[in-house]
Amino acid sequence: MELLYETLAAELSESIARGVLRPGDRLPSVRLLARQRKVSVATVLQAYLRLENEGLIEVRPQSGHYVRPRRALELAEPRTSRRAHTPAKVQVSTGVAALVASMRDPSVVPLGSALLSPDLLPTGALNRMLAGIAREMSSAGATYESGPGLLTLRRQLARRSVTWGMSLGADDFVTTNGAVEALHLALRAVARPGDAIAVESPTYFGVLQLIEELGLKAVEVPTHPRTGVDLEELEQVIRTTASLKAVLVMPTVSNPLGTVMSDEAKQQLVRLVAKYDLDLIEDDAYGELVFDSPRPRPARAWDREGRVLFCGSISKTLAPGYRVGWIAPGRHQERIEQLKFAFTVASPTLPQMAVAEFLASGGYDRHLRRLRATLRGQVDRVREAIADSFPAGTRVTAPAGGFVLWVELPQGADALELQSRALARGIAIAPGQIFSARGRFAHCLRLSCGFPWSARIEAAITTVGELATVQLSRRRTA
Ligand SMILES: Cc1ncc(COP(=O)(O)O)c(C=O)c1O
């Protein structure tokens, strides 16, 4: 059950997001609000403290609580990526290796990989459920859960799919080892080595790695940071690329841009793949993290022909280490089940059981509401710090959800060099080049906002801004 102060904080944060309460506005005094809402002063204080921690409001001594001014509003958004219509062989693995290595070192400030702080996840509750299941059922988890995966989990996914705006049945899902296995199976089912896959530009490096390892080619389609993949350009790509087999996109919170495509655009996208007899691989890994509720429908909701292979996981909301994900493969169901059996036989049973129980327990939506509000606050804080300390002319996304920012530095910056200079100062960042099959976006980087705001994070962002400024001025004078 949501606590009173949480409800109040959520309402106020909604008013700030909608612009009803504007930057610089004074909030009602604690006593007045307590009287108006018929709650205790302590409840209002707790709600204000939550908003303060989320970076939405600030206390001015002897004056009261105010909506924080937003310097970040002055930052322009990145430009739409350019076209490169021919399929490219992908080579991102080397660049990704440095990022993965930095993940292992706890002394490094984690602005590089899209990981959430364990403090934001209900790990304790989930682990207790797992332990309880293991204790009570001596044989639990000891047998293969082959075929499409654990039925109780698939039932829960089917129930959730109603809230996602598409009523799927338990039999429509196959459970996987995270979203990455779902994407792997999907690519295997629809394409053979040498075939091409259309992707957003920039796109998540893990997708590019899969394409690279499977001997496929990527065609990068221009993508707008707010509206998503350019559908006219996509149609052009489809018409001119004979080897194209599928389109792989993230219509509801993309990584790294944080884009949510409109319902109309999703519908048009589904129509487009049907028109050219292609498949659509929909990566919904961040779909539950849209800041504004209710979460928009996935593209799959408009699919009547089973062409959309819908992939998701709990990695960005509950526990990446549980490796619980899923795919609703549509017309490729049988093939995906065959592939899943051939590669891994089954996913581990116990984590599936624990996740099924967590979803059934009813606490998931409350957790998601809290997580979204926290992430929105963290993202805002990082944007503001970028506005304060990055070189003039820097552009940055204003994501509609998730917890990563795409930063476009002035031309001339070299993100790979910046990555190694930042790492030497104990800070991980993700260089733009690994988000492109062709090593584009050398002047861009992705910053993760998955950890609670702190002086350490603030100092790290200031340092990256200073390193970028020094790099640019050195290059200008060279
Ligand atoms: C867009 C996107 N898809 C898929 C994945 C992989 O998720 P999982 O950890 O569930 O395999 C990630 C992880 O970072 C991601 O960002």
- Write the DSSP string, 218-275: EEEEEEETTTEE-HHHHHHHHHH-TTEEEEEE--BS-TTT--B--HHHHHHHHHHHHH
Task: Measure CA of the first residue to CA of the last residue in the chain; give whole Å.
Answer: 61
What is the pLDDT, as a whole number, of residue 79? 85
pLDDT digits (tens, 9 = 90+) for 248-288: 999 999 999 999 999 999 999 999 999 999 999 999 999 99
All CATH 1.10.10.10 domain ranges in the chain, comma separated: 4-69
- CA–centroid distance, 313 to ligand 1, in Å, is 8
Confidence of residue 73 (pLDDT cuts 50, 70, 90): low
Q: Whose CA is nearest to atom 15 of ligand 1?
A: 285
Whether the per-residue pLDDT at 242 is higher than 90: the answer is yes
Of 1.10.10.10, 3.30.200.20, 2.30.31.10, 1.10.220.70, the CATH number of 4-69 is 1.10.10.10
All CATH 3.90.1150.10 domain ranges in the chain, comma separated: 72-79+89-119+366-477
Task: Give helix then strand counts, H and E, for the chain.
Answer: 15, 17
Sheet holding 395-396, edge to edge: 395-396, 404-408, 444-448, 430-431
Q: Which atom of ligand 1 is nearest to the CA of 325?
A: 10
What is the pLDDT, as a whole number, of residue 90? 67
What is the pLDDT, as a whole number, of residue 87? 74
* Ligand 1 near 99 CB (within 6 A): no
pLDDT digits (tens, 9 = 90+) for 423-457: 999 999 999 999 999 889 999 999 999 999 999 99
Whether the per-residue pLDDT at 94 is higher than 80: the answer is no
- CA–centroid distance, 194 to ligand 1, in Å, is 24
Q: Which atom of ligand 1 is nearest to the CA of 315?
A: 10
Whether the bond into 410 is cis, omega within 30 of 0: no
Least confident of 89-103, 162-176, 265-279: 89-103
Whether the per-residue pLDDT at 52 is higher than 90: the answer is no
Question: How far apart are the C-alpha atoms of 1 and 174, rounded to whole Å?
Answer: 31
What is the pLDDT, as a whole number, of residue 260? 97
What is the pLDDT, as a whole number, of residue 463? 97
CB 79 within 8 A of CB 443: no
What is the pLDDT, as a whole number, of residue 82? 80
- CA–centroid distance, 473 to ligand 1, in Å, is 36
* Ligand 1 near 401 CB (within 6 A): no
**422 alpha carbon, distance to own chain's centre:** 23
Question: How far apart are the C-alpha atoms of 457 and 453, rounded to whole Å?
Answer: 6
Q: Which atom of ligand 1 is nearest to the CA of 182?
A: 11
Domain made up of 72-79+89-119+366-477: CATH architecture: Alpha-Beta Complex (3.90)
* Ligand 1 near 285 CB (within 6 A): yes
Structure tokens at 411: 């031309």
Confidence of residue 72 (pLDDT cuts 50, 70, 90): low
What is the pLDDT, as a whole number, of residue 281? 98
Q: Which atom of ligand 1 is nearest to the CA of 183?
A: 4
What is the pLDDT, as a whole number, of residue 140? 65
The whole-number average pLDDT for the span 227-241 is: 96
CATH fold for domain 138-362? Aspartate Aminotransferase; domain 2 (3.40.640)
Confidence of residue 341 (pLDDT cuts 50, 70, 90): very high
In the predicted model, what is the mean pLDDT of the chain? Answer: 92
* Ligand 1 near 320 CB (within 6 A): yes
Q: Is 393 left (phi over 0), alpha (psi -120 to 50) or beta?
A: left
- CA–centroid distance, 181 to ligand 1, in Å, is 9
Burial class from Cβ neighbours inside 10 Å (0-12, 13-18, 19+) for residue 287 reads buried
For 193, residues 6+ apart whose C-beta sits below 8 A from its C-beta are 214, 215, 216
In the chain, the percentage of residues whose pLDDT exceeds 90 is 75
| DSSP three-state, residue 105 | coil
- To test the pocket of ligand 1, the residue of 209, 259, 315, 404 to mutate (highest count of ligand atoms within 8 Å of its CB) is 315
Instruction: Find the helix or strand (DSSP H, E) in which 48 lies.
Output: helix 41-53
Question: How far apart are the C-alpha atoms of 387 and 407, rounded to whole Å?
Answer: 11
Confidence of residue 84 (pLDDT cuts 50, 70, 90): confident
Whether the per-residue pLDDT at 233 is higher than 90: the answer is yes
What is the pLDDT, as a whole number, of residue 428? 95
What is the pLDDT, as a whole number, of residue 474? 85
pLDDT digits (tens, 9 = 90+) for 306-339: 999 999 999 999 999 999 999 999 999 999 999 9
